[in-house]
Amino acid sequence: MGEHLLEIKDLYVQYNTDDATVYAVNGMNLTLDKGEVLGMVGETGAGKSTTALSILQLLPPKVGEITRGSITYDGTDILNAKAQVMRGLRGARIAMIFQDPMSSLNPILTIGQQIHEVLELHFPSMSREEMDNRVDEILGLVGIQKHRKNEYPHQFSGGMKQRIGIAMALVAEPELLLADEPTTALDVTIQAQILQLMKELQQKHNTAMILITHNLGVVAEFCEKVCVVYGGEIIEEGAVEDVFTREKNHPYTQGLFESIPKLTGPVERLVPIQGFMVDPTNLPKGCSFAERCPYATDRCRAEKPGFYMDGTHGIKCFRYENAKGEA
Amino acid sequence: MSKKDRKKSLSNRSQLGMIAFRFSKNKLAMLGLIVIAVLMIVCISAPLFIDYTLVYKQSMAVRLKGPGTEGHILGTDQFGRDLLARIIYGGRISLLAGLAVVGMALVVGVILGGCAGYFGGKVDNVIMRICDVFMAVPRMLLSMAVVAALGQGTFNMLIALTVAAFPGFARTVRASIMTLRNQEYVEAAKCCGTSSSRIIFKHVVPNGLGPVIVSATLQLGGTILAIASLGFLGIGVSSPTPEWGTILSENRTNIRYYPYLGFVPGFFIAISVMCLNFVGDGLRDALDPRTKN
């Protein structure tokens, strides 16, 4: 306790809508140390973004509700922190990069003003000149010529806007960066550039990072730790090596790997995961993946599996119940 | 400038620059803007070329002289006062009071509508129900009631018209804020630790200001008309202080035989309201994203 930068314990988040209650996050446990990069993989609706928004306390008001659990950031209990404390954290110590750079910049402020604003908010004592220098410097780091800081977002391309988003997130040198699918809206060549840039900056400032993505390749390339999210809980976690050697995996992770086309070897038919994503308004009693799992037993449907650890590698599946993880 | 250069320079402008460019291509709107600007400049700089004493100087010798009389370009009224001087000095009240009313209503409306739209829920309900109460009473009637309660006078008339005008602005602002508050850049601003008031007034309201500016311009015409109406009814600016509606009112007994007495102030009221409507329509078209290219 206290040593971790971020610690999420037994987090439950639900969205209360008029029609139904959506159980978005169900018992999420997560720790992250300084400078560590965690990849969070999962389908749309698995609860990845909800987790990120919970960390920032920016769940939609009245609709999103944290029902149980705790989030501790560097000793601060986030769930009980005052609004003012949270405002101090956001942007300065925890920053976020958004999925769609087209809509995450304010169209009527110049990019310089927008980066400037972060500094104004968190370093009120800084002189204007210093701030201007910081803005120039961060723009240089993300590869935008500084004379363009007086231009408006519509004058930049998508990739450049994402660079600006990164500049905004990093200008205050936060310790934790939440990247919510930062490359999904970009085309592939730009994706590689942006990831490269993020990696460089992350290493330079020793920023901890949670990278939320659908892309297993990105995780393998970029992260040290991985967690696979399904139905609002982490079903597998471990170091990248643990998961990607594919000796032992959760059946869901296996399914994910099998649905990636292989570049080497003969072209085979891809094996999709059968069925659909678990309905978050109506979660099963047992393992949330049981319905789609080829190995499912009656026990899987009746009770929830715990985490079975093997060194740093943990899998939530009865198949690995004995410590050695024999299937 | 070649067409290509011009296109390039257009894309390099700020949003405001592009709106100004589109507006400048609308001839009718530009005409309206020029006429209004000329009227305002003449009224504001009136003391430079017309002596204020002319407004009150009565002379039975020259009473009811028609336009074109020597020394009185627009003629004189029943007390022999120079109509031109009264019109120009009256314009200072009609036009500037109109601006003041719209300005005050805009500030109140933007603050209330901004908060209502951004926070939603209870805040929204309380603010908008208050606005509904004001909107339920016809505007003219409401201003008359407020003037009756506060007492006659120019300042009280301004308050009365502001009270009658702000709910409309609050509604417009609220509607445009509600569509903007869920934009991702608002969330991004929250993620940077921006406070609610700063988000509302720096990020959301400026983005939603387009329709508000249009309705403010159109309202300005209506307000000038309302000031004139109150003046005509004798509960706005009181005679002998010149104001277009008041001038019309004090001359109404002589209009049958000296029609210019009605025509001249009426013309200025009509022309300024019409031109403001042209400007408002032009702004609306310039702000419409569909006319972009």
Give the Å distances, CA to CA, from A127 to A91, A123, A130, A209, B173.
19, 9, 5, 29, 35
Query: What confidence tier does B13 reach under pLDDT thresholds 50, 70, 90?
Result: low
Residue A272 maps to a domain: yes
Same domain, A253 and A125: no
Per-residue confidence (pLDDT) for residue B107, from 0 to 100: 95
- CB contacts, 8 Å: B189 with chain A: 106, 117
Same domain, A62 and A77: yes
Task: Please name the member of A58, A100, A106 whose beta carbon is closest to the beta carbon of B191.
Answer: A58
Percent residues over pLDDT 90 in chain A: 25
Per-position b or e across B101-135, b if 16+ CB within 10 A of its CB? bbebbbebbbbbbbbbbbbbeeebeebbeebeebb
- CB contacts, 8 Å: A86 with chain B: 193
**Class for domain B32-40+92-288, per CATH?**
mainly alpha
d(CA B182, CA B212): 19
Same domain, A158 and A228: no
Closest residue in A to B202 (Cα–Cα): A109
Same domain, A231 and A155: no
CB-CB under 8 Å, B184 with A95: no
Same domain, A241 and A313: yes
Domain ends where: A171, A205, A225?
A171
Q: Name the A residues in 106-125 with CB < 8 Å from any B CB.
A: 106-110, 117-118, 121-122
Per-domain boundaries in chain B: 32-40+92-288
Residue A326 maps to a domain: no
Same domain, A158 and A286: no
Query: What confidence tier does B2 reach under pLDDT thresholds 50, 70, 90?
Result: very low
Q: Is the pLDDT of residue B288 over 50?
A: yes
Mark out chain B residues that contact chain A at CB-CB < 8 A.
11-12, 14-15, 121, 183-185, 187-195, 198, 202-203, 206-207
E strand or H helix at A210? strand A208-213
Task: Please name the member of B14, B183, B190 whose beta carbon is closest to the beta carbon of A103.
Answer: B183
Residue A282 maps to a domain: yes
Distance between A132 CA and the closest CA of chain B, angstroms: 18
| Domain that includes residue A213, residue range | 6-93+172-320
Same domain, A191 and A304: yes
Domain ends where: A171, A193, A218?
A171
Same domain, A305 and A282: yes
CB-CB under 8 Å, A106 with B185: yes
Same domain, A153 and A202: no
Per-residue confidence (pLDDT) for residue A290, from 0 to 100: 87
- CB contacts, 8 Å: B190 with chain A: 56, 58, 90
Q: In sequence order, which residues have a C-beta less than 8 Å from that of residue B30 and are 6 or more positions away?
A: B23, B24, B282
Q: Is the pLDDT of residue A249 over 50?
A: yes
- CB contacts, 8 Å: A135 with chain B: none
Residue A1 maps to a domain: no
Q: Is the pLDDT of residue B9 over 60?
A: no
Residue A193 maps to a domain: yes
Q: Is the pLDDT of residue B293 over 70?
A: no
Same domain, A19 and A144: no
Same domain, A151 and A211: no
Domain ends where: A171, A190, A211?
A171
Residue A100 maps to a domain: no
Q: Which residue has the higher pLDDT, B274 or B6?
A: B274
Same domain, A198 and A78: yes
CB-CB under 8 Å, A91 with B207: no
Residue A260 maps to a domain: yes
Query: What's the CATH number where A81 sits?
Result: 3.40.50.300
Residue A102 maps to a domain: no
Q: How many domains does chain A have?
A: 2
